[in-house]
Chains A and B, each alone.
Chain A
Amino acid sequence: MPYKGDVVVEFPTDSSLNVMIVFGDNMRGKTSFLNALRWAFYGRALGRHLHEIPLLNLLNREATAEGDFSMEVGVRFEAGGHRYDLRRRATKRDHVALPSRTEDMRVDCSLQKDSIVVVGNQVEAEINRFIPEQVSRFFLFDGELLQEYETLLMEGSEQGRRIKDAIEQVLGVPTLLLGRDEIGTILKQAQKQQTKDLQQMQGMDAQAEHQSSLQAKEGAQERDIEALKARLKETKEQREALDDELEKVEGVHRAKTRSTELGKRQAEILAKQEGNALARLGLVKTAWLDLIQAQLKVRQGQLLEEQARISNIVERKARIDTRVEDLEMLLSEASCPTCKQQISSENRGKFATQLANLKAETISLEVDGDALARVSNEISEVSKLIQAGVGKQIRNLVSEDRSLSVELTRVDNEKEKIDEQIRGYDTEAIASQRRLRDALIKQEGSVEQRIVEAERDLGKTRNELAVLSKVIANLPAARAKRSTAKVALCQALGKVFSESVERLREDLRRKVQQKATEAFRRLTTQEKYERLEINSNYGLTIIDENGNPVEVRSAGAEQIVALSLIDGLARTGRAAGPVVMDTPFGRLDPKHRENILRYLPENTSQLVLLVHEGEIRKETDLTPIASRIGKSYVIEEVTPRHSKIKVQPL
């Protein structure tokens, strides 16, 4: 643990200010804080997959380097109207110089109730009255639990079975399960005694022999099952270790895929840029014309004006020529060519003047027939040179090229970073680990199957023993014997306990369903969701207002359902009490997070949230509970192996 020296944390005790927030970056000590509480109450700290962390691994590394191998956690709390002072202390044994195994350490636990010392063997029972260990995982609550519960919600998933075992432990209620087992132990002893008695009775040899052989068979089968369970445990542990390894490299696999995608994108960009470059070079061939478009248009304008001017002159001259012709004819004929009337001498004079003027004008109108043709040709030549222009296209290509270059830099950087991260990973080794893991899963399955078969066979044997017991009990000679009476009584009592277990499980499942639904309705943002329904694997289905199961659920919904289940289990297993949550908000959207933050303080006596800034921003996200925050702390790094907790007002 990263804590060293004295660390004192005060929990808020005002019921209206019952929330405590502890901020801490990852790997700084949030989970260790949770484990410190767990270790204080139950003498155990848990790591991944619920595996117990060895005691030596809990000691602070800096402290042990300085020769200090002691660790103590003390908790003062109130429960059931009493004040408790609990202390658990680990120290190295006197004769040990340098502890290297758990056995080199000794652990002492003391409990005072209202200042009166609680006797050693009652400490555990006293603690479990209020915070039973079986339920502890539901209120000393870490984010990994939430993920495991989410897998539970997938019917039949492998991880789901693992957490189902944890739940069964709670809902089985130790009273009945342990009772059943203890009665079974007493029964076996009674049956052995009965066999001995029968052996000494005349005429009961056969029954004695039969019972003895069945008992031997039962013993052998029990031992086989024990061995298989041990093997299963070992296989599971190996497989879980591999799962952890592969989880790490799952990231590698994903990174490699991403790197390949990025490589493709790089190639695409380069190809596109090459294409663009070629296109640009093609356009540049005629770009020189763009440079003179303006001038060409001006020239074109000038030429068109000239053309119009010349055309006007030609037209005017043609009109004048026609008029001259008419006047000449008029004057030579002396009569109007149209109406044939005689023209007076006065008019003749006018016409003659007109004629002279027009002829003079004709002379002044110089028409260069070639000029018009030349100008028209030139216009035609210039028009060929006037084009839409390639400048805009070139500029677009240049702009696109710039964007692609920016993207290429980004892609290059990202790929380089990823390649650096995955450098050194041996993909063949990973594949081989995968195969091994898959083989172990198969093996697990096969061993589990063998356990099921062995337990079935054991059940058959026990049934045979029960039947034989009944037969023996009815034999007058045996009936009188005490051992026979004892066997009969143990069998009856054992059967009652055994069959009560399933009945109780059903009742408790219903209760969990009801409490989980209550929590769910408060936490969900979806009004159409009516309730939760629990199945035999403790999987929960959301039922909508039409009574139909909701099939597809978002990650946020999964988390909410999981939290509802945990809350339901916690409240089935014990009264509303303190809840310590380690990073529960990882993947929740703001609305769901807000709902949880509103719900929890009202349904727990004290709520301790261990969070990092990535999931909760101090400034904004705590508004729903701001008025209930009684204490606020931050875990700060002193050195990489030493953290301290200090008050940090919000």
Chain B
Amino acid sequence: MNDVAAADDMAWRALLETVKEVAPDLSESFLRKAYEIQRRHQFARDRGESLRLMEALIESEIGGVK
């Protein structure tokens, strides 16, 4: 396997282990989506796109709360 992918896997494992201890109520699928956005943009110098996507993800997770 490409070791960047392996490193990324290690990053995901670190997130999974941490969320259990620190924020067990956080949904795993939400965390995964957040992680994927960051992973895809990890080398982008311009952060605008990833910031926009993260905000959209958070908004959709909050859902119908006014």
Contact = CB atoms under 8 A, between A and B. Distances in A.
A–B contact via C-beta, under 8 angstroms:
yes
Interface of A: 80, 121, 124-125, 127-130, 132-134, 173-176, 178-179, 182-183, 185-186, 480-482, 485-486, 489-490, 492-493, 495-497, 499-501, 503-504, 507-508, 511, 571-575
A492 B10 contact: no
Contact of A496 (B10, B18, B37): B18
B43 A182 contact: no
| Most central of A128, A174, A493, A571 by chain B CB within 10 Å | A493
A492 B3 contact: no
B10 A508 contact: yes
A124 B2 contact: no
A492 B2 contact: no
Nearest to B40: A125
B14 A507 contact: yes
Nearest to A576: B3
Contact of B66 (A176, A480, A507, A511): A480
B65 A482 contact: yes
A207 to B, nearest CB: 19
Nearest to A497: B15
A492 B14 contact: no
Contacts of B21: 499
Nearest to B10: A507
Contacts of B23: 492-493, 495-496
Contacts of A575: 1-4
A499 B42 contact: no
A186 B4 contact: no
B43 A179 contact: no
A482 B54 CA distance: 17
B22 A178 contact: no
Contacts of A133: 43
| Most central of B19, B40, B61 by chain A CB within 10 Å | B19
B43 A132 contact: yes
Contacts of B30: 493
A638 to B, nearest CB: 37
A572 B7 CA distance: 7
Contacts of B1: 575
A173 B18 contact: no
A175 B43 CA distance: 8
Given A178-B47, A182-B38, A573-B3, 15 more contacts: A124-B43, A173-B10, A175-B11, A178-B38, A182-B50, A186-B51, A490-B58, A493-B31, A495-B23, A501-B14, A503-B14, A503-B17, A504-B10, A507-B10, A507-B13
B9 to A, nearest CB: 10
A429 B35 CA distance: 55
Nearest to B4: A574
Nearest to A503: B14
Interface of B: 1-4, 7-8, 10-11, 13-15, 17-19, 21-23, 25-26, 30-31, 34-35, 37-47, 50-51, 54-55, 58-59, 61-62, 65-66
Given A493-B34, A503-B14, A175 B3 contact: no
A169 to B, nearest CB: 12
B22 A495 contact: yes
B44 to A, nearest CB: 6
| Most central of A175, A182, A482 by chain B CB within 10 Å | A175
B33 to A, nearest CB: 11
A182 B54 contact: yes
A2 B21 CA distance: 57
A573 B7 contact: yes
B40 to A, nearest CB: 8
A129 B4 contact: yes
A173 B7 contact: yes
B18 A178 contact: no
8 closest A-B pairs (Cβ-Cβ)? A128-B43, A179-B38, A174-B42, A504-B14, A492-B23, A500-B14, A500-B18, A503-B14
B15 A124 contact: no
Contacts of B17: 500, 503
29 contacts: A121-B44, A128-B43, A173-B7, A178-B42, A179-B35, A179-B37, A179-B54, A182-B50, A182-B51, A183-B34, A186-B58, A482-B66, A485-B62, A485-B65, A486-B58, A489-B58, A489-B61, A489-B62, A493-B23, A493-B58, A496-B18, A496-B19, A500-B14, A500-B18, A504-B10, A507-B14, A508-B7, A571-B3, A574-B2
Contacts of B26: 492-493, 496
A173 B11 contact: yes
Given A485-B62, A507-B10, A175 B44 contact: no
A132 B25 CA distance: 34
B8 A175 contact: yes
B51 A176 contact: no
A133 B10 CA distance: 19
A592 B17 CA distance: 42
B3 A480 contact: no
B61 to A, nearest CB: 6
A134 B50 CA distance: 19
Contacts of B3: 571-575
A186 B55 contact: yes
A585 to B, nearest CB: 26
A175 B38 contact: yes
B14 A176 contact: yes
A124 B45 contact: yes
A571 B6 CA distance: 11
Contacts of A185: 51
B45 A173 contact: no
A14 to B, nearest CB: 23
B55 A500 contact: no
A485 B66 CA distance: 9
A507 B44 CA distance: 24
B42 to A, nearest CB: 4
A573 B19 contact: no
Contact of B54 (A127, A183, A499, A571): A183
B24 to A, nearest CB: 10
